Amino acid sequence: MRKKTFAAAALLAAATLTLSACGSGEDSAQPVTVVSEEAGSDKAAIVLDKPFEKPDLVLTDTNGKKYDLRKETEGRPTLIYFGYTNCPDVCPLTMNNVAVAKKQLSKAQQDELRVVFVTTDPERDTASALGKWLKGIDPQVVGLTGDFDTIQAGARTLGITIEPPHKDKNGKVVSTHGTQVVAFSPKTDAGYVLYTEDATVDDYTKDLPKLIKGEKP
């Protein structure tokens, strides 16, 4: 087991790690991982010394029903990602990486795990648009939409900065997605592991069984 020293500096780093729209920095080889460098180690997962509290988000799910994140995911291993469906590259890749890894778990483990996708573009990502998109990835994923300010505030508590969608000079909507997936422990309900954009199917496949038990990857 590896443990990475990761405290205030990392939080700061996480806070600055946001990305607009569909790309990351010019060379995405080593974005977040610089703060947790350890030769030869699994750079995709960052175990936090000071875990995040689960955001107090009450939003709308893909059935149009009220969804209280803390209540619904209490005591459950939970992965949270902030993104939007009109995102060709990183958002579907991240969600598919998680979904493909999840399918390799037992049925019981899959049912135990909560994967939550919170939209950063609630105006376009209505409950039904979100539901349709997520069905193409994994129908078990919980899709949440609602008031942008509420979503932004929730993301901020996880060190994820998102900006309101705006139109560029060509009239196209530019949205922001988070850069990391946050894993919450079923034991403490705290967000204790971050996965960067570099996390692959293999990384999630290796780690999910541990995350489901609240263990450190």
- Residues near other proteins, by CB under 8 A: 18-28, 85-90, 92-93, 96-97, 100, 132-133, 136-137, 168, 170, 172, 174, 176, 197, 200-202
Alpha helices in the chain (DSSP H): 8-16, 69-72, 90-102, 107-112, 127-135, 148-156, 201-212
| Shortest Å, Cβ 82 to other proteins | 15
What is the chain's alpha carbon radius of gyration, rounded to the nearest angstrom?
16
Sequence-separated (6 or more) residues with CB below 8 Å from residue 136: none
- Report in angstroms how near the CB of residue 5 gets to other proteins at its nearest: 26
Question: The tokens 């350890």 sit on which residue?
Answer: 38
Q: Please indicate if the annotation marks 22 as binding a ligand.
A: no
- In the complex, the smallest distance separating the C-beta of residue 135 from other proteins, rounded to whole angstroms, is 9
Is the CB of 83 or the CB of 186 nearer to other proteins?
Answer: 83
Q: Which is nearer to other proteins, 21 or 211 (CB)?
A: 21
Nearer to other proteins, 147 or 202 (CB): 202
Q: At its nearest, how many Å lie between other proteins and the CB of residue 134?
A: 9
182/199 with CB nearer other proteins: 199
Compute the distance between CA of residue 143 and CA of residue 45 in angstroms, rounded to an integer: 23
Q: What is the rounded distance in angstroms from the CA atom of residue 70 to the CA atom of residue 96?
A: 24
**C-alpha dihedral, 4 to 7 to 12 to 16, nearest 10°:** 20
Q: How far is the CB of 159 from other proteins (least distance, A)?
A: 15
Query: Are the CB atoms for 85 and 136 separated by under 8 Å?
Result: no
- Residue 87, marked binder: yes
166 appears as a binding residue in the annotation: no
Q: What stretch of H or E contains 185? A: none
Give the residue numbers of the binding site: 87, 91, 177
Give the residue numbers of the binding site for Cu cation: 87, 91, 177
